[in-house]
């Protein structure tokens, strides 16, 4: 709960880990988790390639 | 949606009946840890018949991050009881190192990269236990 009594949008552990993100990721199947990771790293690699020194 | 590279490699290992366990970052992801895994690390049985099945996959996909042991000299046979079978789609079922053991291995290794992901792995394990 926040100071004004509302439920926060995100929940963090004492060591700063985003528990909301973990709960969402756990709600996916292993196949969906693998696909999400693949898309994520493909996007990052594409951005790195676009910004590579010429 | 096109098949991803990791899925293609894991599918090829599965189709070739290679005895292997996914370890490292991809194992963390498959176990539900929201991390970005750039490399596929595979612990394989070093039995000659398994190596013979593995070779054609290597020839097809190029060098993979293949490991004979991890942590304190732990082999495929040592870690098989600490792995879980997962369905990763398209009829592919693979063995993945369980989260408890993955945490223990990273704690033992103690490198900077290993320590950096430990808080996320530990909190993922806690949240996973709440779901059981």
Q: Residue B12 in contact with residue B5, Cβ under 8 Å?
A: no
Report the chain A residue with the minimal C-alpha distance to residue B3: A35
pTM of the model: 0.91
What is the value of ipTM here, to two decimals? Answer: 0.93
Interval B83-90 mean pLDDT? 96
User: Any idea which architecture B5-131 has in CATH?
Assistant: 2-Layer Sandwich (3.30)
* B86 and chain A in contact, CB less than 8 A: yes
- Partners of residue B75 on adjacent β-strands: B69
Looking at residue A1, its pLDDT comes to: 56
Q: What is the mean pLDDT of chain B?
A: 94
pLDDT of residue A54: 79
- Cα separation, B3 vs A17, in Å, equals 31
Measured between beta carbons, the chain A residues lying within 8 angstroms of B88 are 30-31, 34
Which tokens sit at B30?
């498959």
């Amino acid at each position: 709960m926040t100071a004004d009594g509302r439920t926060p949008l995100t929940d963090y552990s004492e060591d700063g880990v985003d528990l909301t993100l973990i709960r969402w990721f756990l709600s996916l199947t292993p196949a969906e988790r693998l696909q999400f990771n693949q898309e994520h790293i493909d996007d990052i690699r594409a951005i790195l390639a676009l910004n590579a020194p010429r | 949606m096109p098949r991803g590279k990791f899925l293609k490699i894991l599918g090829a290992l599965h189709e070739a009946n290679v005895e292997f366990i996914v370890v490292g970052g991809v194992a963390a992801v498959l176990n539900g840890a929201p991390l970005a895994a750039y490399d596929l690390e595979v612990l394989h049985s070093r039995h000659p018949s398994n190596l013979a099945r593995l070779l054609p996959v290597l020839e097809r996909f190029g060098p993979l991050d293949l490991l004979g042991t991890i942590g304190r000299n732990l082999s495929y046979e040592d870690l098989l009881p600490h792995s879980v079978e997962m369905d990763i789609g398209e009829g592919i079922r693979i063995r993945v190192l369980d989260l408890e053991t993955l945490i223990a291995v990273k704690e033992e290794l103690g490198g900077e990269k290993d320590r950096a992901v430990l808080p996320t792995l530990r909190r993922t394990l806690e949240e996973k236990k709440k779901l059981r």
